[in-house]
Amino acid sequence: MNQTCQYVTSSLELHLFFARIMKEHALFLEAGFTPVNASLAQEAERLKVEFEALLLRAVRLADHGIIRCKVLRSGEIITEFTARAEQQTQRLTGIAISKEITQLETALTCGKDTDPKPEFVREIRELNQKALRLVGSLIRFKERIIANVDSCRMFTMNYPLLIKHILREAKLYQSYLVQLESGKPADDRFMRQTEQFWNRIMMEHALFIRGLLDPTEEALIKASNDFAKDYAKLLEVSSARNELANKNTAEASLRETLQFRDFKAAGAKGILNCEVQSIILPLLADHVLREANHYIRLLSK
C-alpha cells in the first residue's frame, strides 16, 4: 500500500472507530447532567450532532471498499448489538440517535486496492482538519466539566474517573489525527505504550461496570472486580522495559481481553434483554464492547 492509500485508509478507519466513540461520549455526558446544568446538556447535544455529521461523512467516504477487512470484521465499528442498543438508549433517555449511520455501516465492504484520486485525498484531509477542530472542542468541554466536578461546583451522574477516562480517549484520537496530518501512519507508536493505554482503559471499564451494576448482581460484581485486578497486574508488569517481559505481557493482555470481551458481550445481551439489573445504558454496554474489540485487533497484529 503506497503512502497516499495508507493515509486515506488509516484516516477513515480512525474516524469509523473514534468518531462514533466521541459522539457517544457526548451522549453519555448529556444523559448524566441534572436540570441545573441544562446549558451543558445542550452543549453536549450539539457536540453529539456534530460528531454524528463527521461520522456520517466518514462512512460515506469509506463506502468504496478501501477499509481493511480485518478492521471491518473486528467488531470495533459496530457489533451485533449496536442498532438495538441505540434504539433502546434513545427510548430510555429521549436523546435522539441517528439510525442512518449504523444502517450504512452494515453495508460497508472492504479490501479493495485502489489509488485514490487527488480530490478524494483532499476530502479526507478536510475531514481530518474538521475532526481536529471538533475533538479539540470536545476535549475543552470535558476539561471544563471535570474541573467543575473536582472543585464540587457541579454534580453529574457520571463518575469523575469516567470523565477523565473519556478525556484520555479524546486526546488519543487527537494525537492520532496530528500524526496522520504530519505524514505518519495513525498506528505508528510503540506497542508497549498502546498496551499500557488500553490495559488502563480496560481496567477502568471493569471498575465502572462493577460500580454501575445493581448491588444484587453479586456474581457480575465479583467478575468485574476480578477483571480490574487482573488488568492492574498487567499494568504493573508492562511498565517493565524488558523486551521478553513485554512480549509475554502482550500475550497475557490478549488472553485477558478476549475473556473480558466475552464478559462484555454477555453483559450487553443481558442488558438489552432486561436480564441484568444495573444503571448501565444499553449503548454504554455496546460502547465498551467495541473498545475491547478494537484493542484485541491491535494486540493481534
Q: Given this model, what pLDDT does residue 183 score? A: 86
Backbone angles phi, psi at 213, to 5 degrees: -75, 150
pLDDT in tens, 143-184: 999 999 999 999 999 999 999 999 999 999 999 999 999 987
Q: What is the mean pLDDT of residues 29-35?
A: 98
The percentage of residues in the chain with a pLDDT greater than 90, rounded to a whole number, is: 87
User: Which domains does the chain possess?
Assistant: 1-186 (1.20.1260.120), 189-301 (1.20.1260.120)
Backbone angles phi, psi at 250, to 5 degrees: -60, -40
Q: What is the mean pLDDT of residues 124-145?
A: 98
Q: Given this model, what pLDDT does residue 190 score? A: 58
| Average pLDDT, rounded, for the chain | 94
How far is it, in rounded angstroms, from Cα 153 to Cα 145? Answer: 10
pLDDT in tens, 226-277: 999 999 999 998 776 555 556 678 899 999 999 999 999 999 999 999 999 9
How far is it, in rounded angstroms, from Cα 87 to Cα 84? Answer: 5
- Using the predicted structure, report yes or no on whether residue 131 has a pLDDT greater than 90: yes
How far is it, in rounded angstroms, from Cα 189 to Cα 172? Answer: 12
Q: Please write down the long-range contacts of 268-272, taking CB distance under 8 Å and 24 or more positions apart.
A: 268/79, 268/81, 268/85, 269/81, 272/81, 272/84, 272/85, 272/88
- Using the predicted structure, report yes or no on whether residue 189 has a pLDDT greater than 70: no
Written as nine digits, the cell of 131 is 475532526
pTM of the model: 0.95
Backbone angles phi, psi at 110, to 5 degrees: -145, 170
- Using the predicted structure, report yes or no on whether residue 290 has a pLDDT greater than 70: yes
- Is 174 in contact with 164 (CB distance < 8 Å)? no
What's the pLDDT band for 216 if we cut at 50, 70, 90? very high
Burial, 203: exposed, middle or buried (Cβ in 10 Å; 0-12, 13-18, 19+)? buried
Cα radius of gyration (the chain): 19
Q: What is the mean pLDDT of residues 284-291?
A: 98
